[in-house]
Amino acid sequence: MIPDNKSPAALIDALSAEHRALLPELARLAQEASASAESLKTAVERIAPLIGLPLDEHIATEDRELFPAYAARGGDAGILAFFTAEHVEILAIRNRLLAAIEDNDHTEAVGFLAEQLADTLSSHMNREDEVLFPAMRDLL
């Protein structure tokens, strides 16, 4: 949850805290991606509340508040475009995964989507924490 004090530093702190909370769950999902169809469904249903509306809000905060503030101060527009494009990709993977689970799809594709989401989102969040957010802290 984003704090009422929406200073750039407070936003970055809140977003990083959300990353720290989600990363272990994504690692667990990646491990369970090759599990039986029923176990995988349970794993996706367990993480769904974290990757549903909270992920939408998290990405919206970055795209609509933090990224424009960084760009306005002369931040690297190219890196922002890269992270924004990844947001689109992450949400598309998430949507396909949740739709497949809802449709009771028991194919190997569901495991692939679960692993793809876990890997893509984890990598994305780690790069934000290690590269983008420090650059933002320096500029903002």
Q: Tell me, what DSSP letter sits at residue 35?
A: S
| CB-CB contact of 114 with 29 (8 Å) | yes
2-10's contacts with Cβ under 8 Å and 24+ in sequence apart are 2/57, 2/61, 6/65, 8/66, 8/69, 8/70, 8/136, 8/137, 8/140, 9/137, 9/140
In a domain, 116, yes or no: yes
In a domain, 65, yes or no: yes
1-49, pLDDT tens digit by residue? 445 567 889 999 999 999 999 999 999 999 999 888 888 889 999 999 9
Residues 6+ apart with CB under 8 A from 1: 14
| CB-CB contact of 50 with 138 (8 Å) | no
In a domain, 75, yes or no: yes
Query: Distances from the Cα of 20 to the Cαs of 90, 106, 107, in angstroms?
Result: 17, 30, 31
In a domain, 21, yes or no: yes
In a domain, 15, yes or no: yes
Per-residue burial over 1-26, b if 16 or more Cβ lie within 10 Å, else e, is: ebeeeeebeebbbbbeebbeebbebb
Rounded to an integer, what distance in angstroms lies between the CA atom of residue 125 and that of residue 132?
Answer: 10
Q: How much is the pLDDT for 48?
A: 96
CATH number at residue 113: 1.20.120.520
In a domain, 2, yes or no: no
- The domain of 13 spans 8-139
* Confidence label for 69 from pLDDT (cuts 50, 70 and 90): very high
Q: Per-residue pLDDT for 80 more than 90?
A: yes
Q: How much is the pLDDT for 109?
A: 87
Phi-psi region of 7 (alpha: psi -120 to 50; beta: other; left: phi over 0): beta
The total number of structural domains in the chain stands at 1
In a domain, 3, yes or no: no
Q: What is the pTM of this model?
A: 0.92
Q: How much is the pLDDT for 66?
A: 94
